[in-house]
Amino acid sequence: MSTPLRHDLDLLHTSLLTGKLPRNLTWADTIELINQIGEVQPHGNGEFVFTVGTQRAFFKRPHTHDLAVEEIARLRKFLRDAGPAPISGKSSQPCRMVVVIDHHVAHVYRDVDQKVPELEDTAHPYDPFGFRHHLIHKKEAHYEGERIPEDKTFYEQIARELLPANEIVLIGHGVGTSSAVDHLAEYLKENHQDTSRHVIAKETVDLSALTPPEVEAIAKEHMIVVV
């Protein structure tokens, strides 16, 4: 394929292959994805022939904008049978992401320039790695007991953010059932195996005293330096 796979379509393809089955998938996005990684040909009576690699299948245009759940599942099987996505024409430099997590919030850092800056002696505002940073808050319902049960939607939201990453560092505190970072690592292993394989390190630290420069230092310790 001569045209690089667009980032949003790359994420969609990855999600269909290895992530949680999408609840909403439009026919337009489906056609655009298949056209990018293969070929779509009309067959008559609302049917279309999807061809990706050596795989060929018939899909019927839905009466609504979205594919039915059964069709999304069939599309997943078709794409898995077709094999991995074509290699994008983009740089092979790693997409680095860092998650700093406790049971209430996850701080997610994503590389935006694909470079790890050298440490400087001069003071400068810290945005670790020059990453784009945002928060994912856990919404806690009223609950009586010693501890609020783990909310899988919290970890699923983080997993979705990590889909583009091929180098991931997880930072948290505590051990075992008291450790959100351990819960996240286990959730990725059980539900997002492809993403889990990109976790290169898991660190346990005192988050109450963790500073942005220390986040940067932990990440640099584990991540590949691109020169």
- CATH 3.30.420.60 occupies which residues in the chain? 96-222
Q: What's the pLDDT at 111?
A: 75
Is the CATH code 3.10.450.50 the one for domain 96-222?
Answer: no
Asked if 135 and 102 touch (Cβ cutoff 8 Å), the reply is no
Decide if pLDDT at 92 tops 90. Answer: no
Q: What's the pLDDT at 170?
A: 94
Q: What's the pLDDT at 125?
A: 46
Handedness of CA 186, 192, 193, 197 (dihedral sign): negative
Confidence of residue 12 (pLDDT cuts 50, 70, 90): confident
How many other C-beta atoms are found inside a 10 Å radius of the C-beta of residue 134?
11
Q: What percent of the chain has pLDDT over 70?
A: 74
**Mean pLDDT lowest among 120-134, 173-187, 210-224:** 120-134
Q: Which among 151, 165, 156 is positioned nearest to 199, based on CA atoms?
A: 165
Q: Provide the edge-to-edge strand list for the sheet that holds 39-44.
A: 39-44, 47-52, 55-60
Q: What's the pLDDT at 49?
A: 95
Decide if pLDDT at 31 tops 90. Answer: yes
Confidence of residue 56 (pLDDT cuts 50, 70, 90): very high
